[in-house]
Amino acid sequence: MKLIDRLFGSVATHGHVCLGLDTHYDYIPGDFRRKFDTPADAVYEFNRRIIGHTLDVAACYKVQIAYYEAMGLAGIKVYAKTLKYLRDQNAIVIADVKRGDIAKTAEMYAQAHYSGDFESDFITLNPYMGMDTLEPFIPWIADSNKGAFVLAATSNPGASDIEGLCCDGVTVAEKAGDMISKIAAGYAGDCGYSPIGAVVGCTNTEQTVRLRERLANLFFLIPGYGAQGGKAQDIAAYLKDGNGGVVNSSRGVLLAYTKPEFAGMSFDEAARAECIHMRDEILKYCGR
């Protein structure tokens, strides 16, 4: 089965939650941290417990590499172990690495993150050096059943500085989306979407609705939910017939145990409860 069809099916079965494992040591409850000799060991076991309690309520997982790089060599080992554990559970994994370079350098990034110790299913890419930055990743997508989510419209407050610039009525984000869509068109799965999708944030509703109308063949990775201000009622407009995108939440799930409504729950139980709440809220507005 093509990777994008697996993801489409996972959304249909489990809902839209993409659980972000942006795990900082400070996010881990003190009593749990004290069980381990090193921060790296605590982070890995925290991740493993979160994953184990959410496999049936999350469509996929996104692992942000920066949190692990910040821990040095021990953190990079945890990053690799977390990816392997997810793949061993047959979970769909997005490595959030935002690579964007050219020629041989990009080839090495593709090899690094589509195979070996850091192998994942999808990776995030930054195309703003030009669309030739995507070319070295295409053979892996075509021949090795891999995928990519390419930045189009991000969720950060400064996104409009560049992505919002307009020429002849078309924003930079829309132009980037059009070019990503053109490249993606030749790789569609049975579900109609391509494994080359777009990162489209949910903090600018008007822009995202326009992008969904323009980019019918692109599956969306949608950041900005929860802590960044994105709301469940906005999500339906970014989808097509209730599918076509996954919605990332990181801190909202990892720190769910700190919320009053989940008082008394362990961190992994609270993470599961938050995933279910998020899933059901989005499904409600999708009419499912």
Convert the pLDDT of each residue in 212-269 to its tens digit.
889 989 999 999 887 666 778 888 888 988 999 999 999 999 999 999 999 999 999 9
**From 81, 84, 98, 231, the catalytic residue:** 98
Cα dist from 54 to 48, 65, 222, 251, whole Å: 10, 20, 19, 15
pLDDT of residue 100: 95
Count CB-CB contacts under 10 A for residue 48. 16
pLDDT of residue 82: 98
pLDDT digits (tens, 9 = 90+) for 97-121: 999 999 999 999 999 999 999 999 9
Task: Give tens-digit pLDDT for 170-229.
Answer: 899 999 999 999 999 999 999 999 999 999 988 777 777 888 889 989 999 999 887 666
Question: Which tokens belong to 105?
Answer: 């350098």
As given in the structure block, the two tokens for residue 95 are: 């490595």
Beta-strand relationship, 218-222 and 245-249 = parallel
284 is catalytic: no
pLDDT confidence tier of residue 31, bands split at 50, 70 and 90 = very high
What is the spatial distance between Cα 230 and Cα 104, in angstroms, rounded to a whole number? 37
Pull the structure tokens for residue 188: 């569609």
pLDDT at 145 over 70: yes
State what percent of residues in the chain have pLDDT above 90. 80
pLDDT band of residue 277 (cuts 50, 70, 90) is very high
The whole-number pLDDT of residue 203 equals 73
User: Which domains are present in the chain?
Assistant: 3-286 (3.20.20.70)
Predicted pLDDT at 155: 81
According to the model, what pLDDT value does residue 288 have? Answer: 66
Which alpha helices (DSSP H) does the chain contain, by range? 3-14, 30-33, 39-54, 66-69, 73-88, 103-114, 138-143, 172-184, 205-214, 232-235, 251-254, 267-286
